A = this chain, B = another copy of it.
Amino acid sequence: MRIGELARATGVEIETVRYYEKSGLLPEPARQANGYRAYSARHLERLAFIRHCRALDMPLADIARLLDFNDHPQSDCGDVNTLIDAQLARVRARLASMHALEAQLAALRARCREPHATQECGILHELVAAAHGEACACHPAPGRGGAGHADPRVFAADAEAPERPGRCDNQAG
Protein backbone atom coordinates (compact mmCIF):
# COMPACT_ATOMS: atom_id res chain seq x y z
CA MET A 1 0.00 0.00 0.00
CA ARG A 2 1.54 3.28 -1.11
CA ILE A 3 1.12 6.58 0.67
CA GLY A 4 -1.59 7.83 -1.68
CA GLU A 5 -3.75 4.78 -1.08
CA LEU A 6 -3.25 5.04 2.66
CA ALA A 7 -4.19 8.71 2.52
CA ARG A 8 -7.35 8.01 0.53
CA ALA A 9 -8.31 5.10 2.78
CA THR A 10 -8.05 7.12 5.97
CA GLY A 11 -8.98 10.58 4.78
CA VAL A 12 -5.65 12.00 5.93
CA GLU A 13 -3.58 14.11 3.56
CA ILE A 14 -0.33 12.70 2.25
CA GLU A 15 1.72 15.52 3.75
CA THR A 16 0.04 14.90 7.08
CA VAL A 17 0.91 11.20 6.93
CA ARG A 18 4.58 12.09 6.39
CA TYR A 19 4.30 14.64 9.16
CA TYR A 20 2.97 11.99 11.56
CA GLU A 21 5.86 9.75 10.62
CA LYS A 22 8.35 12.51 11.26
CA SER A 23 6.71 13.28 14.61
CA GLY A 24 6.98 9.63 15.62
CA LEU A 25 3.25 8.86 15.75
CA LEU A 26 3.35 6.55 12.78
CA PRO A 27 6.24 4.06 12.57
CA GLU A 28 8.49 4.25 9.53
CA PRO A 29 7.14 1.91 6.86
CA ALA A 30 9.19 -0.43 4.68
CA ARG A 31 10.36 0.94 1.34
CA GLN A 32 9.91 -0.37 -2.18
CA ALA A 33 12.96 -0.69 -4.41
CA ASN A 34 12.26 2.78 -5.81
CA GLY A 35 12.14 4.37 -2.37
CA TYR A 36 8.37 4.65 -2.16
CA ARG A 37 6.84 4.00 1.26
CA ALA A 38 5.12 0.61 1.56
CA TYR A 39 2.46 0.50 4.27
CA SER A 40 0.90 -2.49 6.00
CA ALA A 41 -2.55 -3.05 7.48
CA ARG A 42 -1.13 -2.14 10.87
CA HIS A 43 -0.23 1.29 9.59
CA LEU A 44 -3.71 1.75 8.22
CA GLU A 45 -5.19 0.83 11.56
CA ARG A 46 -2.90 3.10 13.49
CA LEU A 47 -3.48 6.04 11.20
CA ALA A 48 -7.25 5.56 11.39
CA PHE A 49 -6.92 5.63 15.17
CA ILE A 50 -4.94 8.85 15.02
CA ARG A 51 -7.44 10.35 12.64
CA HIS A 52 -10.30 9.47 14.94
CA CYS A 53 -8.58 10.98 17.94
CA ARG A 54 -7.81 14.13 15.97
CA ALA A 55 -11.49 14.33 15.09
CA LEU A 56 -11.95 14.41 18.86
CA ASP A 57 -9.56 17.35 18.83
CA MET A 58 -6.94 15.66 20.95
CA PRO A 59 -3.42 17.01 20.84
CA LEU A 60 -0.89 14.75 19.13
CA ALA A 61 0.99 14.28 22.39
CA ASP A 62 -2.12 12.79 23.99
CA ILE A 63 -2.69 10.57 20.97
CA ALA A 64 0.87 9.34 21.26
CA ARG A 65 0.16 8.37 24.84
CA LEU A 66 -3.04 6.57 23.89
CA LEU A 67 -1.15 4.66 21.21
CA ASP A 68 1.39 3.75 23.81
CA PHE A 69 -1.32 2.41 26.11
CA ASN A 70 -2.68 0.47 23.17
CA ASP A 71 0.73 -1.04 22.53
CA HIS A 72 1.09 -2.08 26.18
CA PRO A 73 -2.23 -3.65 27.17
CA GLN A 74 -0.86 -4.84 30.51
CA SER A 75 -0.49 -1.38 31.98
CA ASP A 76 -3.07 0.33 34.13
CA CYS A 77 -5.46 2.51 32.20
CA GLY A 78 -6.08 5.13 34.87
CA ASP A 79 -4.10 7.61 32.83
CA VAL A 80 -6.38 7.08 29.89
CA ASN A 81 -9.22 8.36 32.02
CA THR A 82 -7.20 11.33 33.15
CA LEU A 83 -6.32 12.12 29.59
CA ILE A 84 -9.91 11.95 28.36
CA ASP A 85 -11.07 13.95 31.37
CA ALA A 86 -8.55 16.67 30.62
CA GLN A 87 -9.66 16.76 27.01
CA LEU A 88 -13.30 16.92 28.08
CA ALA A 89 -12.51 19.77 30.46
CA ARG A 90 -10.73 21.65 27.70
CA VAL A 91 -13.62 21.17 25.32
CA ARG A 92 -16.20 22.23 27.91
CA ALA A 93 -14.28 25.35 28.86
CA ARG A 94 -13.98 26.27 25.22
CA LEU A 95 -17.63 25.56 24.65
CA ALA A 96 -18.66 27.82 27.51
CA SER A 97 -16.58 30.72 26.32
CA MET A 98 -17.72 30.21 22.75
CA HIS A 99 -21.35 30.43 23.82
CA ALA A 100 -20.64 33.77 25.46
CA LEU A 101 -18.77 34.81 22.37
CA GLU A 102 -21.62 33.93 20.08
CA ALA A 103 -24.07 35.93 22.18
CA GLN A 104 -21.77 38.95 22.08
CA LEU A 105 -21.24 38.76 18.36
CA ALA A 106 -24.95 38.33 17.71
CA ALA A 107 -25.73 41.34 19.90
CA LEU A 108 -23.03 43.29 18.14
CA ARG A 109 -24.35 42.37 14.75
CA ALA A 110 -27.84 43.49 15.73
CA ARG A 111 -26.48 47.02 16.24
CA CYS A 112 -26.04 47.48 12.54
CA ARG A 113 -28.75 46.41 10.14
CA GLU A 114 -28.26 48.61 7.10
CA PRO A 115 -25.36 50.24 5.30
CA HIS A 116 -24.45 53.72 6.45
CA ALA A 117 -21.35 55.78 7.13
CA THR A 118 -18.85 54.20 9.50
CA GLN A 119 -19.27 57.23 11.71
CA GLU A 120 -22.73 56.04 12.75
CA CYS A 121 -21.90 52.36 12.82
CA GLY A 122 -23.41 50.75 15.91
CA ILE A 123 -20.93 47.91 15.79
CA LEU A 124 -17.90 50.13 15.92
CA HIS A 125 -19.51 52.34 18.57
CA GLU A 126 -20.19 49.29 20.68
CA LEU A 127 -16.67 47.98 20.26
CA VAL A 128 -15.13 51.32 21.10
CA ALA A 129 -17.42 51.78 24.10
CA ALA A 130 -16.55 48.31 25.33
CA ALA A 131 -12.88 49.02 24.91
CA HIS A 132 -13.37 52.21 26.94
CA GLY A 133 -14.74 50.16 29.77
CA GLU A 134 -18.39 51.04 29.41
CA ALA A 135 -20.94 48.31 29.95
CA CYS A 136 -21.10 45.49 27.44
CA ALA A 137 -21.93 41.83 27.63
CA CYS A 138 -18.42 40.64 28.35
CA HIS A 139 -17.17 43.67 30.16
CA PRO A 140 -19.79 44.74 32.67
CA ALA A 141 -18.06 47.08 35.11
CA PRO A 142 -16.92 50.51 33.93
CA GLY A 143 -13.73 50.52 35.95
CA ARG A 144 -12.57 47.68 38.08
CA GLY A 145 -13.94 44.63 39.78
CA GLY A 146 -16.14 43.30 37.02
CA ALA A 147 -15.91 39.84 35.64
CA GLY A 148 -13.98 41.46 32.87
CA HIS A 149 -13.25 40.15 29.42
CA ALA A 150 -13.31 36.53 28.59
CA ASP A 151 -9.65 35.63 28.65
CA PRO A 152 -8.43 34.95 25.12
CA ARG A 153 -6.02 32.43 26.59
CA VAL A 154 -8.88 30.24 27.70
CA PHE A 155 -8.66 28.53 24.34
CA ALA A 156 -5.08 27.52 24.87
CA ALA A 157 -4.55 27.34 28.58
CA ASP A 158 -7.35 26.45 31.02
CA ALA A 159 -7.84 23.09 32.68
CA GLU A 160 -4.36 21.78 33.26
CA ALA A 161 -2.24 24.86 32.79
CA PRO A 162 0.10 25.75 35.61
CA GLU A 163 -1.09 28.74 37.56
CA ARG A 164 -0.46 32.08 35.97
CA PRO A 165 -1.36 35.62 36.89
CA GLY A 166 -4.76 36.65 35.54
CA ARG A 167 -4.85 39.10 32.70
CA CYS A 168 -8.41 40.31 33.10
CA ASP A 169 -8.25 42.83 35.90
CA ASN A 170 -8.98 45.58 33.45
CA GLN A 171 -8.35 48.94 35.06
CA ALA A 172 -8.91 51.19 32.07
CA GLY A 173 -11.75 53.64 31.94
Q: Check B92–A102 contact: CB distance below 8 A.
A: yes
Q: Check A117–B75 contact: CB distance below 8 A.
A: yes
Q: Check A118–B11 contact: CB distance below 8 A.
A: no
Q: Report chain B residues within 8 Å CB of A127.
A: 49, 52-53, 66
Q: Report chain B residues within 8 Å CB of A73.
A: 117-119
Copies of this polypeptide in the complex: 2
Assembled-state Cα–Cα distance A98/B56 (Å): 9
Q: Check A80–B167 contact: CB distance below 8 A.
A: no
Q: Give the contacting residue for A149; candidates B11, B78, B123, B166; CB below 8 A.
A: B11
Name A127-156 residues within 8 Å CB distance of B: 127-128, 130-133, 138-139, 148-152, 155
User: How many A residues touch the partner, as a band?
Assistant: 35 or more
Q: Report chain B residues within 8 Å CB of A51.
A: 131, 149, 152, 170
Assembled-state Cα–Cα distance A16/B77 (Å): 40
Q: Report chain B residues within 8 Å CB of A169.
A: 11
Q: Can you list 8 A-B contacts with CB-CB less than 8 angstroms, sorted by A residue number?
A: A9-B170, A9-B171, A11-B149, A48-B172, A52-B130, A75-B118, A81-B112, A95-B99
Q: Considering the complex of A and B, which 10 residue pairs feature the smallest CB-CB distances, nearest first?
A: A73-B119, A48-B131, A49-B131, A77-B121, A55-B149, A77-B118, A11-B167, A78-B115, A88-B105, A52-B131
Residues on A facing B (Cβ under 8 Å)? 8-13, 44-45, 48-49, 51-57, 66, 69-70, 72-78, 80-81, 84-85, 87-88, 91-92, 94-95, 98-99, 101-102, 104-106, 108-109, 112, 115-121, 123-124, 127-128, 130-133, 138-139, 148-152, 155, 166-172
